[in-house]
Amino acid sequence: EVQLVESGGGLVQPGGSLRLSCAASGFTFSSYDMHWVRQPTGKGLEWVSGIGSAGDTYYAGSVKGRFTISRENAKNSLYLQMNSLRAGDTAVYYCARGSEGFDPWGQGTLVTVSS
Amino acid sequence: QSVLTQPPSASGTPGQRVTISCSGSSSNIGSKNVYWYQQFPGTAPKVLIYRNDQRPSGVPDRFSGSKSGTSASLAISGLRSEDEADYYCAAWDDSLSGHVFGGGTKLTVL
């Protein structure tokens, strides 16, 4: 069974940093693009960042220069390093496999940026 | 303000056919594939339609997708109470070099 499990969310002060992780299982992780998508409570979805199977990276304009996506194929893991966090970054962060769309998604991890 | 434009809400009665529109531009829908996602409260989204009009296995054929020019549509026929959810369209945007979503449409089954 294909499964994605996020971790690392929590409460952080504005200007702080947080690193999210996504553990993948049930498929050949190294062969797929992977993505982070976020959703503020009660609001819509926003694509944050993606990384190709070859390691090429892509970012939404709202996080470029502050967030860094990476992957460790040997550990079947995806990461999102988030720096200079702002209140507007508060959201549930989902990791998703890039396969005929974003499929599947993890259960999400909540990031709250507040003093 | 989302790059892709969806109506915030839609509704229908059981058995009816409902369509949800998604409007974009030449840099996204006009030249790229469109995807549709279904999300129930408190759960992660699930892909409903991929590559404009393809259904993943397990998705009922009551759901169908179409695309024309810079717009796309999701149609749900034989509406059922369990279809009540939020629906999002998405596509790659060449100008932004990133994926973009519509603002989402909340479907209510009356």
The CA distance from B52 to the nearest CA of chain A, in Å, is 10
Let me know: does A79 contact A72? Beta carbons within 8 Å.
yes
Nearest CA-CA distance, residue B15 and chain A, Å: 27
Digitized pLDDT (tens) for each residue of chain B, 110 residues in all: 899 999 999 999 999 999 999 999 999 999 999 999 999 999 999 999 999 999 999 999 999 999 999 999 999 999 999 999 999 999 999 999 999 999 999 999 99
Contact criterion met (CB < 8 Å) for B99 and A47: yes
Question: Do residues B90 and B37 touch, judged by C-beta distance below 8 A?
Answer: yes
Beta bridge partners of B68: B71
Closest chain A CA to residue B91: A101
Residue A110 pLDDT grade (very low, low, confident, very high; cuts 50, 70, 90): very high
**Which pLDDT score, from 0 to 100, does residue B1 have?**
84
Residues B29/B71, Cβ–Cβ less than 8 Å: yes
Q: Give buried/exposed letters for A100-109 (b at 16+ CB in 10 A, else e).
A: ebbbbbbebb
B103 to chain A, any CB pair closer than 8 A? The answer is yes
Cβ-nearest to B100 among A47, A59, A101: A47
